[in-house]
Structure formats: structure tokens, C-alpha cells
Amino acid sequence: MRKDVRILLVGEPKVGKTSLIMSLVSEEFPDEVPLRAEEITIPADVTPERVPTHIVDYSEAEQSDEQLYQEISKANVICIVYSVNNKKSIEKVTSHWIPLINERTDKDSRVPLILVGNKSDLVEHSSMETILPIMNQYSEIETCVECSAKNLKNISELFYYAQKAVLHPTGPLYSPEEKEMKPSCIKALTRIFKISDLDNDGILNDNELNFFQRTCFNIPLAPQALEDVKNVVRKNMSDGVKDNGLTLKGFLFLHTLFIQRGRHETTWTVLRRFGYDDDLELTQEYLFPLLKIPPDCTTELNHNAYLFLQSVFDKHDKDRDCALSPDELKDLFKVFPYMPWGPDVNNTVCTNEQGWITYQGYLSQWTLTTYLDVQRCLEYLGYLGYSIIQEQESQAAAITVTRNKRIDLQKKQTQRSVFRCNVLGARGSGKSGFLQGFLGRNLVRQKKIREDHKSYYAISTTYVYGQEKYLLLHEVLPDFEFLSEADLACDVVCLVYDISNPCSFEYCAKVYKKHYMDSKTPCVIISAKSDLHEARQYYSLSPLDFCRKHKLHPPQLFTCNTAEAPSKDIYTKLTTMAMYPHAKLRCMCSCNRCTFCICHNLLNSELVRSVKAKLYSTVLNRHMTQADLKNSTFWLRASVGATVFAVLGFAMYKALLKQR
Ligand code: GTP
Ligand code: MG
């Protein structure tokens, strides 16, 4: 809404412009007035709409045409004053004043006009008969009013109408020619209806109407008033009320009625509460509330936001199959000005057999947006009406900004629930397969993905010691020269090579040495396509020797060429490493005797799955210091049987160690 209002009074000489202003200010009729009143400013708290209001007089005797034109262009609303007992002053409204004003204002942003018939004390009859045709002819005329400066009739009303014409303009809402609401207004109100229809049955029931009333007007609706409203609609149309609730048609009808009866401030209150500006666009302040994100912090949705998103999902999952069909998804995004999710989303998150986004996948995509582009997430939540439905200040209330990662590292503990894993590897090494494997898709399923529907992200949940965490996999394009800071920053890194391609390991070694060797980010080498025959890598060191030299986990075998969904173990392992980056040797130890191993096994057993992670991290931290010291012994032990390991993989390696 505007911060102030500037009202200009124009009209023929001696119609009473100055007297009207003086009467308003002094609340009595001044017998003598100057030619032109000084500009006055009425403070916000004494005006009905609580907005400071400037009132500007005009006098032909005192002002030049140039000065008049300047005032016209500065005004937010213009009152054309005539005298009810002076025919000529009425004629001049159409022959002189309206054309003069219209020439000086843009066609698209016409300033609202108010016709003011002064000196009503002098005549018995009303001038309305002459005025109404003029009103019908010019849509920029907001309203007309007859008044008298002498006996103070309708003086405050006149200035209230003027203020209202600026603050709650009819123009964007209603077309007087068509006698109906404008399409953009119908669109906005339809969106508001859909958000307020909490169960999405196409009807606002009493509960929903009450909620709507409370959010928009801060007062509950009396039960009788509720019935009255419905009765008004019933009387006027057959399908405005259904199952004792208001249909969209009925809702729109009510607003048309408000506007037609000059109560369009009611409609404006509703529109503004839902974030609309005077052009019926959602305001930037509504869509993008301020949210400060310090460096090295990430953004996540909080519990409340997940509950809200869950309710939005439930509201649209009409057949309750825990997935959104294309129609259901379209319906969900009807409150958006555009479709935010493209077909790539179906390849970013988990879907069901039909390829529809599941409940899990839906929440994952929201988590991804929040993590990668929190502004977009705020915008989307704004479209869904988050702050209104959840009764929050703004969408910013949905976001948790995590603490600086450096503090997490220092304390060896994290409260975060989303972790980012960058997946790097030479072209064709199996990165995409690794991402899709996380979504439970084997090679056969992956072959069905269209090239233009491909995604460079995959996100889903894993359970780390009984806690559900999100792991976000990001496939980084292999152009070595173009790796940016953002491509490299993450919580854990996967370096993927194709065991059947002898040239593919070199890329991993190079990226590792250039970017990760000296960083604190944990790295894992993935030996992809492990179902294929292993080729000897051309690189100077074998992958296993490379890992050994750089104190990395041995390469992890991975294949998505499986009959069922590929195993999730590796992803859980990655999440664990992302959460506890210090614990480099954690699962490599496997002695089954040390505190860590015992704790690890215990936590993994069904019995104590519920043991809180806090307990775990305390033990883990204590163990880690010991494990770090034992680094060298570990690698000494690992070197035995290394060749066997390279082929047989991690499980076999564990078994071998046990035997020893
Ligand atoms: P200019 O400044 O010359 O353009 O005139 P104006 O439009 O400002 O009119 P002004 O207020 O000077 O009033 C002109 C005459 O009309 C004065 O004699 C007023 O006393 C008288 N007058 C103004 N309003 C009323 C009214 O409501 N009723 C009656 N009976 N007389 C009025
Ligand atoms: Mg005057």
C-alpha cells in the first residue's frame, strides 16, 4: 500500500474548493477564505486509513497553467469540484477538466477522479441525474459525492473517498464497462481460494471460512454472519454454495458484490494479506523475505516446514497412493505462476514404478531447492501461502540456517541433516549411473531416461545410526579446466573410475592431487561398473596403491547393472563420512574389539537402533583420537592381501582381516 496520499482539488473559480479544505480543517464554515489554501498535511493517525494525506488547492487567479499541470502530475487523486447550483461549472467537468487531466496522465496509469458537487445547501434537487451519465462515460471516475462546505455535509466523506481511491483503487479489480472483475483479479482470488481450501475439495467449509476470515481481518466470523454470507450467495446463484460451503464461484461472486457496492477495500485487504501489490503481482517483499546466510553455512527446511509441505502433499494426493500423478502435480502447482518442476526432477528424486514423484521424492526435491537455492525455495513457499497458513511472519520462518561448518568440524559434531557429495570422474566413467543408483534404479531402468530429462543431481535419504539424513549427490562435469570453487566445495567427494576402462583412473588421481589432497574433505574412490572385467589402469599406481599412498579408503566397488535396485550401502557410508569427516578410519578398523567397533556394531544392531546419536558422537570423538594415532599400524596391516582385495572388494577384505 502507498506510504502517503496527495489529493488535488480543481474546478471552476468560486465553486468552493478553498472553502471545502478550510471546512475540513477547522470543522466550521469560514465566511472569508483566501484565493488558495496553503498545502496541508493531515497526519496519519487522524485519517481513516492511517496514511499521511496532503491536500492541495488550486486557484486560477493565483496559479499559471504550467503550475496546474505540475500539480496534476504530482497528484494521486484529483477531485473535480463543481457547484450544484451552477450548470456551467458542471459542463466544464467534461468539456474542460477531464480532457485536461487525461492529456497529462498515462493512459495505463490514469489518476483516479472524484466528482464533487459542492453547495448542496443551496438547492433542493440533486445533481446526480446529470452526473451519472458522466460517470458511466469515464472509467477513471472513481465515485461522486454531493456536499456542502457551509453546513459541513459529507466533507470528511469526500476526503475519505479520495484517500480510498488511491489506497484501494477499483481500476485493477473491476471493469465498469463489463460490469465484472478483471481477469487478473479473478486469477489472484482463485489462487487465494485454492490456498484457503485446506482439504482441496473445491469448497470453503465453515472451518476454512473462519480461518480465512481470521487471517485476513483478524476477527472471527460470528456463526450467524457466516450463514448470512452464504444466504446472500444462495439467493443470487444456484452453485455458489455447495455442501453448506462456499464454492469458487460463490467466493468470486461475493467479491464482485463487495466491489460493486463500493466496499472494494475488503477485497484489497484479502489481496494484500496474500502478498499482492496494486498491480496484482505478488510483491518482492512477500516472495523474498530477508534471510541472512553467513558464509560456510547451509540452508535446510525445519520441522514445521516439512509438516506444511506434507500437508500440501496430502491435500493433492487424491488417490492416496503416496505419489503425485502428473495431474495431481499440476494441481499442486496451480497456485504458482509457472510450473517450477521440469521432467528432470523425476530423475533427481525417487519415483514409483510409473515414474511419478513419491512422497519421499517430493520432500527430497524441496530439500534440494532449499539447499541449492534458498531464495527460490522462499519464493515457492510464498506461492503455496506458507506464512499465511502457518501463521508465520514470512517464509524465512521455514528455514534453518546451519552453523558454520568450521565449528562443526572443531566440535566434531553436526546438527545438519543435508550433506552434499560431489561426484567427479572422467567422461563415461559411470557417474550418472552412480547417481541414479541412489534413486534405486538399475541399468535397465536408467536406459529409459531421455537425454534432455537427465539431471546432474540426485537426492534421497539414508539412515545413519538411526537418524534419517539427506544425501545430495552432484555430478560435476568432467572438464578439468573449468572446475569452480562451487563445483568442488562439498562434504564428501566421490572420485569415480570405470574398472573396465584403463584410461579412466588417471582423472581421479589428477583431481584428487590438484583439489583434495590438502583439503579436509573426505574422499572415496568408486570403482564403477564392477560387473565388467577389470582392466589394468595405465596410471603409474594402481587405484589401491594410490589409496594406500594417500591414506584413503580402499576403492569401493559399485555396479548398477543389477537385477534389483542397486545396494544402498555405499550411500550410507558416504553420508556417514560426510557427517563425521574426522573419522577417516572408522569402518576400516573392523577389529571388533576397540570401543568404536563395539559401539558401531551395537548401534547397527536392531536392539539399539534408537540409541541417540549424541551418545554415539561422544564415543566416536573419543575413539577418533586413538584411531588417528593408529594410522600407520592400520596401513601396515592393510597392505597384506591387498591384491586380493582389489578384486574382491570391501566385504572380503573385512573377512580376511578377521581371519588374521
Ligand atoms: P477560486 O479560488 O476562485 O477558484 O474559488 P474556490 O473554488 O476556492 O471557492 P471559494 O472557496 O473561494 O468559495 C467561493 C464562494 O462560495 C465563497 O463566497 C464561499 O463562501 C461560497 N461557498 C463555498 N462553499 C459553499 C457552500 O457549501 N455553500 C454555500 N452556500 N456557499 C459556499
Ligand atoms: Mg480558492
Q: Is the CB of 86 under 6 A from ligand 1?
A: no
For CA atoms 288, 293, 296, 301, give the dihedral sign. Answer: negative
Give 15 Cα–ligand 1 centroid separation in angstroms: 5
CA proximity to 419, closest of 345, 363, 492, 359? 492
Rounded CA-CA distance 165/336 in Å is 30
Rounded CA-CA distance 131/116 in Å is 10
Half-sphere exposure at residue 273, Cβ-oriented, CA atoms within 13 angstroms: 23
What's the pLDDT score for residue 412?
A: 85
- Tell me the pLDDT tens digit for each residue of 138-183: 888 988 999 999 999 999 999 999 999 999 988 899 987 788 999 9
Give 74 Cα–ligand 1 centroid separation in angstroms: 25
Beta-carbon contacts of residue 598 (< 8 Å; ≥ 6 apart):
592
Give 110 Cα–ligand 1 centroid separation in angstroms: 28
What's the pLDDT score for residue 652?
A: 39
Q: Is 618's pLDDT higher than 80?
A: no
What's the pLDDT score for residue 2?
A: 77
Protein residues near ligand 2, an ion, with CB under 5 A: 18, 35, 59
CA proximity to 303, closest of 368, 367, 349? 367
End-to-end CA distance of the chain: 78
Test site for ligand 1: of 14, 88, 152, most ligand atoms within 8 A of the Cβ: 14
551: left (phi over 0), alpha (psi -120 to 50) or beta: left
Give 91 Cα–ligand 1 centroid separation in angstroms: 18
Q: Is the CB of 148 under 6 A from ligand 1?
A: yes
Rounded CA-CA distance 177/179 in Å is 5
Test site for ligand 1: of 12, 18, 19, most ligand atoms within 8 A of the Cβ: 19
Q: Measured from the CA of 57, which atom of ligand 1 is nearest?
A: 8
What's the pLDDT score for residue 622?
A: 41
Q: Is the CB of 35 under 6 A from ligand 1?
A: yes
Rounded CA-CA distance 460/439 in Å is 7
Contact present, 430 and 529 (Cβ < 8 Å): yes
Q: What percentage of residues in the chain have a pLDDT greater than 90?
A: 71
Q: Is the CB of 63 under 6 A from ligand 1?
A: no
- Tell me the pLDDT tens digit for each residue of 450-506: 999 999 999 999 999 889 999 999 999 887 677 777 778 899 999 999 999 999 999
- Residue 218: what residue type? N
The DSSP result for 158-206, as a single string, is HHHHHHHHHHS-STTTEETTTTEE-HHHHHHHHHHHHHH-TT-SSEE-H
Give 25 Cα–ligand 2 centroid separation in angstroms: 15
Q: Is 126's pLDDT higher than 60?
A: yes
Give 20 Cα–ligand 2 centroid separation in angstroms: 9
Q: Using CB atoms within 10 A of its CB, is residue 546 exposed (0-12), middle (13-18) or buried (19+)?
A: buried
What's the pLDDT score for residue 175?
A: 87
Cell numbers 534421497 label which residue? 460
- Ligand lying nearest the CA atom of residue 118: 1
Q: Is 640's pLDDT higher than 60?
A: no
Q: Is the CB of 62 under 6 A from ligand 1?
A: no
Q: Would you place residue 583 in the very low, low, confident or very high pLDDT band (cuts 50, 70, 90)?
A: low
Pairing of strands 53-56, 40-42: antiparallel
CA proximity to 565, closest of 346, 350, 325? 350
The count of residues in the chain is: 660
For residue 487, count other CB atoms closer than 10 A to its CB.
Answer: 15
For residue 295, count other CB atoms closer than 10 A to its CB.
Answer: 7
For residue 206, count other CB atoms closer than 10 A to its CB.
Answer: 15
- How many Å separate Cα 335 from the centre of its chain? 11
Q: Is the CB of 131 under 6 A from ligand 1?
A: no
Q: Is the CB of 33 under 6 A from ligand 1?
A: yes
Q: Is the CB of 119 under 6 A from ligand 1?
A: yes
Contact present, 123 and 84 (Cβ < 8 Å): yes
Closest residue CA from atom 5 of ligand 1? 14
Instruction: Record the pTM.
Output: 0.81
Cell of 275: 502478498
